[in-house]
Chains A and B, each alone.
Chain A
């Protein structure tokens, strides 16, 4: 493990450098926007990564919430299985299919629906017990970092293209800001609350916070917005070299995310170990103090 991390870090750095090279020199210049469009290779992968991390946070939080309630855990397991199967069937039923926004592929919707139970079981299997809570915290914190990048690079891109830094009232922009605020409040709650219920409260907040993710993603289909349509699965078109570069960039950022999450996860485990050691030390100190009057009285 100790050797694996540096090796993976070097490989990831090389992959990120290759993605950077492709973004600047291999991908062609956009006919309308010029070179500024190359922000897409950092802005879009950061948004996708943030969504993925918030989704993982949701999966870990919902399982942590029911972890001490066997009946609820069993019910949730069956809801995931039945919901996944019925969801995939429903996507292909004509009335539901008609509700899918133009440009969005039913197969993409079905895959997303199937991903929910798949992630649920994988997360529960890989991260049992308290590790679910550690995973939830890790994914929320790293997700906030990526969401911050989206909110910073978005206005930098908007200024030369739209002529404004921010479109007030735009649903895509506002819902992304709200998403960021929800997860920042999640982190603030976890950082400053000393209650024994903090982890449960944070998990409940995360479950409701995750409801904003589909709203952010689907907002450009259902509402009039300044934000452009998605380039993948949304009817938008792109030069194949641009698309390849975008996917390579995302893969490189995913490798980077994996390493950052791994470090953050281990850091949290170490922190809990130290807290436990402190608690044991104070307990030992308290028991020594408590036994002292007894020792005196026995003399």
Chain B
């Protein structure tokens, strides 16, 4: 693997980690919205 490939790997890894975290935020948010809706229906 030449040096430039290490640079690409680091850049890709950074955005994969950020992307993964953003996905967990969105999924947690959707779950909470669903719960909110269910609570609303219960009332």
Contact = CB atoms under 8 A, between A and B. Distances in A.
Contacts of B9: 156
A159 B29 CA distance: 38
Q: How large is the interface on A (under 10, 10 to 19, 20 to 34, 35 or more residues)?
A: 20 to 34
Given A33-B3, A264-B25, A274 B42 contact: no
A42 interface: yes
Interface in A106-137: none
Determine the main DSSP class of A at the interface with B.
helix
Given A267-B32, A270-B32, A159 B6 contact: yes
Determine the main DSSP class of B at the interface with A.
helix
B20 to A, nearest CB: 9
Contacts of A215: none
Given A274-B36, A281-B39, A145 B3 contact: no
Given A156-B9, A263-B25, A274-B39, A46 B14 contact: yes
Contacts, number: 73
A271 B32 contact: yes
Nearest to A259: B22
Interface of A: 20, 33-36, 38-39, 42-43, 46, 142, 145, 148-149, 152-153, 156-157, 159-160, 256, 260, 263-264, 267, 270-271, 273-274, 277-278, 281
What 6 A-B pairs have minimum CB-CB distances, sorted nearest first?
A: A36-B3, A153-B10, A39-B10, A156-B10, A160-B3, A42-B14
